[in-house]
Structure 1
């Protein structure tokens, strides 16, 4: 069946939260020592891993973690605790870093995002963003005028379901009016994003590398399913 819609994950697929100079002064330990590059990389990994739980929680913290992508308050609770357990010494500092996490304008798009969106639009293929997330990522698209290419946003905290739960994919396909067999899901997690295959969607896996190390990952994913110029 011809592909009529492509569903994209957000974090690690279309955009990536990356280290830059704005993190340098904020990321220091209890003694005021700046975190080194490896420590910063690990903290960013813990904040953006799509499925893995990389720290241990108590009962309340575990509940917040398990439900983080369904409720903004639980999301804040869970990730603030992740930061504290990762060596960020104060609640104030953790709050500053958390605000950076939930600001979509601080996320870096992969180099081929615009080309992919225009390619799909030229072919009349609908596009949706399907994300396990508890904050609104639409500004990342509207500020670049990319929202004109997005036919639907399916965000877990708005839908009430988290990938790989089939309900989030079904809700997205309903919005688009597309059958599962005519949809391709592109994401960086075989476990979460690959859940779309339970409905009959096709799936393409991309590597959540730093953006400059993955210049054509999205284009390559589309080509693997016959979608190219």
Structure 2
């Protein structure tokens, strides 16, 4: 029986505002590159896969300044390639730095707080598992998310990134639960789905843009409101 629901942070519970895709679009157009919003969205989907794969191998936080610059130049290159544009590594690096000059902040998705409240009222323990290398509690309080959480585990705390087992196991230990008693919701297949599976937690892939219809080895939802339906489907029925 599922007793707890864990969530990823970025692109699951919260997003940037203005959206990073709109920032990218504005910068590209400012320097004369013709891209579309859909193209940029496709590029970010590809770049985020690269980000999570590379970050799982060597944590970005532990890389040198030069290595970080190279990483984000590659990240930007993938975004633009996904949008149908080829640029030099230097131009990619410059574009990425320009996007960083535009102020942005975290904001919850429209469904986040309502779903957290519904799950809390239904008796589920709730947790946040994030690869961010920072203290999250002040931000979570500001966003109105903190009151719903029973546990918050970050990579800064455990010294490892999802899909490493330690971040999932730390949450289970904190709540005194077995892996089969938890469900984890996240937007990244490698870090969230495979990470949860690796320790025996039931994974749910959040696919807000409908880009992962080929994924069939786990439950897939297009919005957080569907998580409750997944939970209900896992409740044993009397024969």
Aligned-pair distance for 1:143?
A: 2.2
The equivalent of 1:219 in structure 2 is 225
2:27 is matched with which residue?
26
Question: Which one has a larger percent helix, Structure 1 or Structure 2?
Answer: 2
Give the distance between the partners of 1:190 and 1:22, measured in 2 at CA: 25
Going from structure 1 to structure 2, the CA distance change for 1:138 and 1:109 (only over 3 Å counts) comes to: same
Q: Distance in 1 between matches of 2:9 and 2:175?
A: 18
* Corresponding residue number in structure 1 for 2:179: 180
Query: What secondary structure is seen at the aligned counterpart in 2 of 1:124?
Result: coil
Is contact 1:6-1:126 (8 Å) kept? yes
The answer on whether the counterparts of 1:131 and 1:154 sit within 8 Å (CA) in structure 2 is yes
Distance in 1 between residues matched to 2:100 and 2:32, nearest whole Å = 20
Looking at structure 2, the residues matched to 78 and 138 of structure 1 have their Cα atoms a distance apart, in angstroms, of 31
- Secondary structure in 1 matching 2:147: helix
The 2-side partners of 1:144 and 1:163 are apart by 23
Q: How far apart are residue 7 of structure 1 and its match?
A: 0.6
Q: CA RMSD in A?
A: 3.7
Q: Which runs of 5+ in 1 are unaligned?
A: 54-61
Relative contact order higher in (CA < 8 Å, ≥ 6 apart): 1
Count of matched residue positions in the alignment of Structure 1 and Structure 2: 209
Aligned to 1:196: 196
Q: Secondary structure at the match of 1:191?
A: helix
Q: TM-score, normalised by structure 2?
A: 0.68
Query: In 2, are the aligned partners of 1:127 and 1:150 still within 8 Å (CA)?
Result: yes
Q: Is the 8 A contact 1:7 1:130 kept in 2?
A: yes
In structure 2, do the counterparts of structure 1 residues 181 and 66 end up closer, same or farther at CA, with 3 Å as the change threshold? closer
Task: State how far apart, in whole Å, the 1-side matches of 2:189 and 2:21 are.
Answer: 28
Deviation at 1:223, TM superposition (A): 1.6
Distance 1:47 1:152, change over 3 A: farther
TM-score, scaled to structure 1: 0.70
Task: Give ranges in structure 2 of 5+ residues lacking alignment.
Answer: 81-86, 211-220, 234-239
Q: Is residue 25–residue 35 contact of structure 2 (8 Å, CA) maintained in 1?
A: no
1:161-195 CA distance string (max 9 Å, x none)? 22222111001212223222211111223432222
Q: 1:205 to 1:45 in 2, by over 3 A?
A: closer
Deviation at 1:99, TM superposition (A): 6.4
